[in-house]
Every structure is written in structure tokens, then in C-alpha cells.
Structure 1
Amino acid sequence: MVTSLLVIVIILAIVFDFINGFHDAANSIATIVSTKVLTPFQAVMWAALFNFVAYFIFTDHKVANTVAKTVVEDYITLEVILAGLVAAIMWNLLTWYYGIPSSSSHTLIGGFAGAGITHALILGDTALQAINLTPILKTVAFIVLAPIIGMVIAIIINLLIINISKNARPSVAEKWFKRLQLVSSAALSFAHGGNDAQKVMGIIYIALVANNVLATGDTMPEWIPLVCYAAIALGTMSGGWKIVKTMGSKITKVNSLEGVSAETAGAVTLGITQHFGIPVSTTHTITGSIIGVGLTKRVSAVRWGVTYSLIWAWVLTIPVSATLAGIVYTITHFLF
């Protein structure tokens, strides 16, 4: 039976997906805008297109399944999902306002887990009874691993490209690298859409199960991925200019060659984690890749003060989102 609360939860999930799009638009367009390959408007249209193209390719929904299993099914209610989504939206908007490229993925997982834990505690159970530690620990591990993997791959790709093109005329090389940036940014946008849209798909699916519209193990209705990929693409089209500035120029100055390296490394990292169903942060991945191309020049080319600020935001995202969700759940539980 479809209830009004279920409808509200689904709408909030789609809103979060849209916000995820404009919050994370910077991930795939920052370098292509900063190198002036495309204008900001052209870049967001390009990224949005490939966000949606992922709908036709990523059909196994591994990441969606991982997110849906964050909280033990016995503790999943529509109120829990609602609180998690509200907290995730609040943190995403706050970090977007201050131009901090935090992880929408970790915001959602933290919010969902925090609401589930609070629900368990109110029932008199322990916090650990409410959550599945395996997917959560895997996600937490990749807060560290994703940027490191992106950084290492970016360094390798950047050094390979530099050595392959060392005898090329600078003007000819620059022309080709600008063309290649269209391909690498498209690949990153494609991987971003495939990874991030699935997180909301998992939330909507589990909401339908919690409301007995679906049974556990039922095939996901086709409208869920279609709506989620469309929402993230529309969000990307609306841009995220404050974060573009941070990603495109504040971490390190990036040219077209380095843009190709960073974007390719980000896409490869996301592709690997997508294959294993790990909900990693696109933000963390591309930030690590940008740092990697900066390090191939010299250590001082990376603005470490900015980087340390970003790392603090990454560390705080899950606990802050979980705390916000716990507060929201407590308020709604006792007031309504």
C-alpha cells in the first residue's frame, strides 16, 4: 500500500539525488572548465549527458544493494529513511554553500546509519544491532583508499603521457590534450552517474520494502533507476560553481595534459570500485587524482592547506550526518 509518508520519502530521495548532481558536478567538470576546454554551461551539459548514459550500462545495481544493506532490515522504517535523507540533504547543502567538496555518498550512508542506530536505541537495543558493519567498514576504508588509489593512478598516467609526448610540439600537444579532455571528462561523468545514482536507488528500493510495496529480493522496478539517473543528470546541469573553483584551481593549477590524467584516473578508480559494489566518493577520488598530477610536478605544487581542510570535511561527514539524522529521527519520533 502506497502511503503519503512513502511518497514524501521518495520525493526527498529524488531531491537528494538532484542535489547530489549539482553538488558533485564539480568533480567531472572542474578541470575541463579551469583549462577552458569548455565553458561552464557547455561542461555541465556534457557531464549531465554522460551521467544519464550510465543508466543504459550499469544494470547490475551492485552499489545500490550495498547501500540498502547499511541498516539491518528489522530496523528499517520509513521514519528512519526519512530522517537519513533529511540529514543528508542538510549536510550537502551546507557543504555546497561553503564550497566544500564533501562526499554525497558518505552523507547518505552516515544519515541512514545514524537514523537506524537511534531507532534501535529508542527501542532499547544496542547500536550495533541496527547496522551491518561489513558495508559500513568497507565504505569507511575507502574514505582513505579511494583518494590514494586515484592519486597513484593519476601519477602513473601523467608520467606515461609526459614521456610519450615529450618530443611533440607544445602547440600540437595542447590541441590534442584539449580534445582528449572531452573524452576523459565524459568517462568520469559516466562513472560518476553509474556510482552515485545507485545510492539513491538503494534507498528508494528499501523504502518500498519497508512499506510492503515490494518484498525483499524482488526485482527493482525499472522506474527507480530511470528517475534516479534523470535526477542526478538534471542536478549536474544546474552546476555547482563554488565547488568548481575549489576543485579546478585551489588544490593545484591544472593544464590540459594533467586534466586528462586526473579525469582518467578518477574514471578508472570509480570503474574498479563499481565492479566490486563499493559506494565510494567521486569527490574523494578526483581530489586524490588532482593531487597526484600536482605531485608529478613537485610537492609544493599542491596547496596542502586547502587539502587538509578537505580531509577534515571528509572525516566529519559520516559522524555529522549520523548525528543530524539521529536528532531528526528523535524529533519526528516523539512529536509525530
Structure 2
Amino acid sequence: MEYVTEPILLVVVVVTALAFDFTNGFHDTGNAMATSIATRALKPKAAVLLSASLNLVGAFLSLAVAATIAKGIVDAGVVTLPVVLAGLVGGIVWNLLTWLFGIPSSSSHALIGGVVGAVLAAVGTDGVIWSGVISKVMLPALIAPVLAIGVGALGTWMVARITKDIPEDTNSRMFRWGQIGSASLVSLAHGTNDAQKSMGIILLALIAGGAVDESSGVPFWVVASCAIAMGLGTYLGGWRVIRTLGKGLVEIDSRQGMAAETSSAAVILLSSHFGYSLSTTHVATGSILGSGVGMPGAKVRWGVAGRMFTAWLVTLPAAGIVGAACLWLDEAIGGDAGSYVVFGLLVAVSTAIWLVSRRKPVDHTNVNDEWEDASTQVAEVVATHDPAALATVGAGPAPSGTAATTHRTDDQDGRA
């Protein structure tokens, strides 16, 4: 009986890994396209289509990060299919929760946290390659945002100084074209880094399921399926996170947008070359913050940045707790049935989060509405006696009928 059910479980795990790749795509679209959409250098739908296409191409360019995930974080010899499934559930649930609240949290760290938590629950600390976690995950997580802020601030300051005597409308026209190029480069870089994380997880599952041996590389069908899944997820847009990065963090113009995106692409591509499992979210957010710091007179919403930093700090342990809990539930039920129950719970939780998000949708038609601070939104929501709406405070446009919704421009949907 085990011979019959094991291949089915392997298929479930692979499908779940592709589902994570899909959530990674829509969660991280804003990393590349938020500033271009906010400055209207690109129409929203055109931006996500361009990003999806380049993510697809980028996934085929490098496999260094896939090797890091598959063989550099946990001991592949102790990993089983239930462990991989539990880790994926931890990553997906955290991705969906942070997307619901419009928080640009790290999909990479959610995945790694989920897998490490599941391995710790399964075999203890001996199953984790701590040197790999520290050198390939923790150190880049600390260094990358700081580096991105510095590079973004310096680049923005230089651009602002060079163009200070040029009329604003001329700057906007010139740098919008530059934004399109730099945003495209970030999308390509994202594909070279993030799509490989799911490739590495699927390779782990194939090794655990006995389909390939531990010395195997990533099969081509895995590369292709992960590239497609991420491309599809990117095309959906992830509008809630795009809105936070484009409108909530910094009041941004085309010069800042190009400087931020160029900084992000440089840091991400460098990390992919060395096989670091870098969070593109950390880099993109740091670059956008840097563009606010480097632009004289720019407004940076440090309260929004603080909420992001808090989410970053708890991503690894939160996803790890979910991964560990799922593995304990799996083992408590026993057999393949436990894994199927865990998968069913993932479907139920994902559906519930999606239904909550529909109460206050964010899409290409309202992603550029004027941003309103969360404190003001809370007061207005409470005044409407609709506690359920609090779930989306700060993630989308202001409640209907408030001042913020009256500030929409004629080109709000991206028409210049």
C-alpha cells in the first residue's frame, strides 16, 4: 500500500511547492513594479505583464540559489515528504497573511523558516545546517537592506543633484523611460533568485521521495514549471503589496523610482551570482527607503517602515512555528493521511484569507489612490461600526466616502 500512496504524496508536495512559487510571484511583484506604477511610468496591467515575462526568463538563467535551498540549509538525508510539505505550508500561510495586510515581507525567509521549523520538529537541531543558515540567510538578511538603503540613498542624491536645475516635467518624462528599464532589470533579477527557491524545495522532495539521488541537479521540468508558476503569480499583481511599496512608504517621483530599482537590481543580481538566498523584498524596500532618504524634502513614512521591519523580524520564527505545528499534526494522525489533512487545512486557510481580502479589494483600478495613514483609517473604520474592515487597514485604499477616496486623478488607472 505504501508503494501506491507514496507517489501520490510526492505529487501533492510538488503541487504545494508550485503553489508557494505562485504566492511568491504575486507577493513580490511590487519589488520591481511598485514605483513604476506609482509614478505612472507604466500602466498597472502592462507593468505586471512585463514583470511576469521577465520573471519567467530569469528563472532559466541560474541555479545557484536552488542548490543553496536544496542542500545548504537542512540535511537532505533526514528530510521526508511530510517535512517538506509542512515547511511549505508555513511559508504559504505567512505569505498570504502578510499579503492580506499589505506588508512586503520576505517570501524567501517564510519558506526557509517553514522548512527549518519542520526539520527541527522532526529530528531536532542536528537536521539543520546552521552554518548555511547563518552565512546564506541570516547575514544577507542583515546586510542586504542596509546596503540597499545606502546604495539607493547615494544614487538618488546623485541624480537629484545632477537634475536639480531641470524642470520637473522634463525630469518626469526622461526618468519614466529609465524606470521601465530598471524595473525590467529587477524583474529579471527576481526570476534568477526567487523562482529557484521552489526549485530547490521540489528537488528536496524528489530526493526525499526517492525519485532522484542526493547528487542530482534540478531537472528541466522542475525549472520550467517553477518559472511558469512564478510568472502566473506575478501577472496577478499582488496589488495590496504594490500599493504599500508604491504609495505607503515614500512619496516617490520618477528619479527616485529609477534610482531605487537600479540599486535593487544590482544587489539582487550580485547575490544570485554568489548563491545567496537573498530576500528581494528586503532589498527593494531598502532601496525605496534609500530613495526617500537621499531625495531632499522627500517624505518617508517611518511608521509604515517600522511595521515592515517588525514583520521581517518575526517571519522566520512565525513560519517555523507553523511548519513545526503542521508536522506534529501530521505525525499525530499518522501515515499519509496526516499529510493529506495538512494539505486540506492549507486549502481551507488559504480560502478563508482570500475571502477576507474580498471585503476590501485592491486591484489595478485603485492601487494608486491616495495613501491614508493607518491611525486615521482605524478611526474612520471604527466610526462606521464595521470591525471586520480592520483586517485590511493600511493594506488598501481608505474606506469609501472618506477624504482619501476623493483625491483620485484622471489617470489613476495608469493612463498618463
- On the 8 A contact 1:12/1:85 being kept in 2, the answer is yes
Query: 1 CA distance for matches of 2:152 and 2:110?
Result: 26
Structure 2 partner of 1:136: 133
Q: What code does the residue aligned with 1:74 have?
A: G
Matched, 1:7 2:5: no
Following TM superposition, the consecutive aligned residue runs of length 4 or more in structure 1 with deviations greater than 6 angstroms are none
- On the 8 A contact 2:160/2:295 being kept in 1, the answer is no
Question: Residue 99 of structure 1: SS of its match in structure 2?
Answer: coil
Structure 2 partner of 1:245: 243
Q: How big is each residue's C-alpha offset from its partner over 1:176-231, in whole Å with a ceiling of 9 and x where there is no partner? A: 10011110000011111111000000000111111111111123211111111111
Q: What code does the residue aligned with 2:64 have?
A: K
**Higher RCO structure, 1 or 2 (CA under 8 Å, sep 6+):** 1
Structure 1 partner of 2:77: 74
Structure 2 partner of 1:104: 107
User: Per-residue deviation at 1:250?
Assistant: 1.0
Matched, 1:173 2:177: no
User: Per-residue deviation at 1:318?
Assistant: 0.3
Determine which of 92, 97, 102 is the counterpart of 1:94.
97
| Matched length | 328
Question: Residue 330 of structure 2: SS of its match in structure 1?
Answer: helix
Question: Residue 3 of structure 1: SS of its match in structure 2?
Answer: helix
Query: 1 CA distance for matches of 2:230 and 2:323?
Result: 22
Unpaired segments ≥5 residues, structure 1: 121-126
Matched, 1:201 2:199: yes
Query: 1 CA distance for matches of 2:253 and 2:296?
Result: 15
Query: 2 CA distance for matches of 1:187 and 1:246?
Result: 21
- On the 8 A contact 2:52/2:235 being kept in 1, the answer is yes
Task: Name the structure where helix makes up a greater proportion of residues.
Answer: 1
Supply the RMSD in Å over aligned alpha carbons. Answer: 1.5
Unpaired segments ≥5 residues, structure 2: 335-416
Structure 2 partner of 1:65: 67
Query: 2 CA distance for matches of 1:333 and 1:298?
Result: 57
Q: How big is each residue's C-alpha offset from its partner over 1:36-65, in whole Å with a ceiling of 9 and x where there is no partner? A: 11121111001111111213422xx11111
Question: Residue 218 of structure 2: SS of its match in structure 1?
Answer: coil
Query: 2 CA distance for matches of 1:113 and 1:321?
Result: 9
Question: Residue 108 of structure 1: SS of its match in structure 2?
Answer: helix
Q: What code does the residue aligned with 1:130 have?
A: G
Determine which of 12, 16, 19 is the counterpart of 2:20.
16
Q: What code does the residue aligned with 2:268 have?
A: L
Question: Residue 37 of structure 1: SS of its match in structure 2?
Answer: coil
Q: How big is each residue's C-alpha offset from its partner over 1:139-175, in whole Å with a ceiling of 9 and x where there is no partner? A: 1122221111111111222122223334444333321
- On the 8 A contact 1:191/1:267 being kept in 2, the answer is yes
Identity of aligned residues (%): 38
- On the 8 A contact 2:60/2:223 being kept in 1, the answer is no
- On the 8 A contact 2:200/2:218 being kept in 1, the answer is no
Q: Pairwise mapping of residues 1-336 of structure 1 onto structure 2 (< 5 A)? A: 3-58=7-62, 61-69=63-71, 70-120=73-123, 127-138=124-135, 139-298=137-296, 301-336=299-334
- On the 8 A contact 1:67/1:135 being kept in 2, the answer is no
Structure 1 partner of 2:378: none
Query: 2 CA distance for matches of 1:207 and 1:177?
Result: 45
User: Per-residue deviation at 1:109?
Assistant: 0.3
TM (norm. structure 1) is: 0.94
Q: Rg bigger for which structure?
A: 2
- On the 8 A contact 1:143/1:314 being kept in 2, the answer is no
Q: How big is each residue's C-alpha offset from its partner over 1:86-127, in whole Å with a ceiling of 9 and x where there is no partner? A: 11111111111111111000000000000001001xxxxxx3
Query: 1 CA distance for matches of 2:61 and 2:188?
Result: 9
Query: 2 CA distance for matches of 1:219 and 1:335?
Result: 33
